[in-house]
Amino acid sequence: DAGVIQSPRHEVTEMGQEVTLRCKPISGHDYLFWYRQTMMRGLELLIYFNNNVPIDDSGMPEDRFSAKMPNASFSTLKIQPSEPRDSAVYFCASRYNHEQFFGPGTRLTVL
Amino acid sequence: DQQVKQNSPSLSVQEGRISILNCDYTNSMFDYFLWYKKYPAEGPTFLISISSIKDKNEDGRFTVFLNKSAKHLSLHIVPSQPGDSAVYFCAATSGTYKYIFGTGTRLKVLA
């Protein structure tokens, strides 16, 4: 198995632009998580899905952030409009038993 | 209001010696704790976990200790090796699928 796949690995954009991050979870995993990593706050859970249904989005910072999971093999995290304070590494993870398997992350820089 | 705190952002240890990474939590409802390791440009990977019904769990060179009364857990690595140099995150959960992560401790093992 290729593991959790995220794209792009790096994204540089200008303030105000729309950004879409993509994730393909491990086949057979029924939970998918989106995290954001910053120096100040560490790994923050933004939202998670179970069987493609959003369960808890209380970590989503504001309405500029949205996430979808149209099917079991794909999820997106969208930021519109992006702001410099959104610069961070965004991780997607899928879960089997008690263990979450993380993708390599997308490093987002908003200028 | 960080529920999981790693107060040491970095730690340096000589190869062969013991590394001790600490983690404190505030929520007494947490009943399962995990440690993840993260190398640069990669996602975090699961290292070891412990249930709140135990006070120690060992896996090779890695041992996690839990002190529920102090709301404190620690990860011991013995002996430390240069390949252990990474960022270590502790995480906690309360019977849900939602993990709360700390801010991480960067371990550097000196050869």
Cβ atoms of residues B64 and B56 within 8 Å: yes
Of B45, B46, B101, Cβ closest to residue A42: B101
pLDDT mean across residues, chain B: 95
Length of chain B: 111
**pLDDT at residue A98 tops 80:** no
**pLDDT at residue A31 tops 80:** yes
**pLDDT at residue A49 tops 90:** yes
User: pLDDT value at position B106?
Assistant: 96
End-to-end CA gap in chain B:
37
Say which residue, B15 or B1, is predicted with more confidence: B15
Examine residue A25 and say whether the peptide bond preceding it is cis (omega within 30 degrees of 0).
no
Confidence of residue A41 (pLDDT cuts 50, 70, 90): confident
User: pLDDT value at position A18?
Assistant: 97
Cβ atoms of residues B18 and B77 within 8 Å: yes
Å from B104 to nearest chain A CA?
A: 6
pLDDT mean across residues, chain A: 94
CB of A93 within 8 Å of any CB in chain B?
yes
**Averaged over B13-25, what is the pLDDT?**
97
Specify the amino acid at residue A52.
Answer: N
User: pLDDT value at position B36?
Assistant: 96
Interface test with chain A among B52, B97, B100, B106, by most A beta carbons within 10 Å: B97
Confidence of residue A96 (pLDDT cuts 50, 70, 90): confident
Where do we find the tokens 């390949």? B83
User: pLDDT value at position B74?
Assistant: 98
From the number of C-beta atoms within 10 Å of its C-beta (0-12, 13-18, 19+), residue B83 rates as exposed
Cβ atoms of residues A37 and A51 within 8 Å: no
A105 CB neighbours in chain B (<8 A) are: 41-43
The predicted-structure confidence for B64-111, as pLDDT tens digits, reads as follows: 999 999 999 999 999 999 999 999 999 999 877 789 999 999 999 999
**pLDDT at residue B13 tops 70:** yes
User: pLDDT value at position B1?
Assistant: 66
Cβ atoms of residues A35 and B99 within 8 Å: no
**pLDDT at residue A1 tops 70:** no
Alpha carbon A86 to its chain's center:
12
Say which residue, B36 or A2, is predicted with more confidence: B36
Å from B45 to nearest chain A CA?
A: 7
**pLDDT at residue B57 tops 90:** yes
User: pLDDT value at position A77?
Assistant: 98
Residue A85's DSSP bridge partners are none
| Cα–Cα–Cα angle for A44, A50, A54, rounded to 5 degrees | 65
Indicate left, alpha or beta for A42 from its phi (over 0: left) and psi (-120 to 50: alpha): left
Task: Please report the residues numbered 4 through 43 in chain A whose beta carbons come closer than 8 angstroms to any beta carbon of chain B.
Answer: 4, 31, 35, 39-43
